[in-house]
A and B are shown apart, each in its own frame.
Chain A
Amino acid sequence: MVEPAKPKGSVTIVVFSGDLDKAIASFVIATAAASMGMSVNMFFTFWGLNVIKKEGGLVKGMNWMQKMLNFMNYGHAKKLALSKMNMLGMGPAMLKVMMGQKKVPSLPEFISTARALGVKFYPCEMSMTIMGLTKEDFLDECGDVLGAVSYLAIAKDSDINLFI
């Protein structure tokens, strides 16, 4: 629905955090904006890369430090922690139940809704290089791997810019 370049404005969101609550907040804004006909770009960087990682593959990376980091930072849309009250995973489990009762979509549902609405996902090249990750580690829906300059080029022309 967002075929023309800037029909109703645009939103660019940097998702830096890999926390479940912050990821959901990002997707609430992204899907609402897309429903308003705005073009939406989401850049996933650093811990935020976990939001768009595929499931599986505990050990990734080229050297032992990357392997250790990726092992300890293992996560994907169904396995993220809360920024507060995580309580060894009980917090996210309870939040998912509470959201389900209120029929708020789960994060994987939000991701597919966002895709259906034409929201674009970009993994950040620099964080991927540090962590030793490749494009294959991310959901197939992801667009090009972008660097900071490409992000800024898009952010410069966006009406709304968020860093979450």
Chain B
Amino acid sequence: MSESSRQLGIHKTIDAKGLSCPMPSVKTALALEQMEVGQVVEIITDDPVSRKDLPVWAQMTGNELVDIKEAADSIRIYIRKG
């Protein structure tokens, strides 16, 4: 676990690389269902649509977008269960 992961207290990581719309949102929804309020999920995706869609998803579902980290080959999105 990296330093930043420890700071955020990531509870679960979803590797959604290669998956396209709407599966990253679906997988995030299913993961959060199993989690407690306040826990953070990390979604790793290479789908540019998810970069826009997951923050909207978080807002619509009453969860909190914590951070987005963009690397060359992937995007890491952190959402805290609300």
Contact = CB atoms under 8 A, between A and B. Distances in A.
Interface of A: 1, 8, 28, 31-32, 34-37, 102-105, 113, 116-117
B60 interface: yes
Contacts, number: 45
B20 A36 contact: no
Contacts of B60: 8, 36-37
A113 B22 CA distance: 11
Sort chain B's interface into a size bin.
Answer: 10 to 19
Contacts of A103: 18-20, 23
Interface of B: 18-23, 25-26, 28-30, 33, 57, 60-61
11 contacts: A31-B26, A35-B22, A35-B25, A35-B26, A35-B30, A36-B60, A102-B18, A103-B19, A103-B20, A116-B30, A117-B29
Given A103-B18, A103-B20, A104-B20, A32 B61 contact: no
Main secondary structure of the interface of A (DSSP, over half): loop
Given A1-B33, A32-B26, 18 more contacts: A8-B60, A31-B22, A32-B22, A34-B29, A35-B25, A35-B26, A35-B28, A35-B29, A36-B29, A36-B57, A37-B29, A102-B18, A102-B20, A103-B18, A105-B23, A113-B26, A116-B30, A117-B26
Shortest Cβ-Cβ A-B pairs, 7 listed = A32-B22, A35-B29, A35-B25, A35-B26, A103-B18, A36-B60, A103-B19
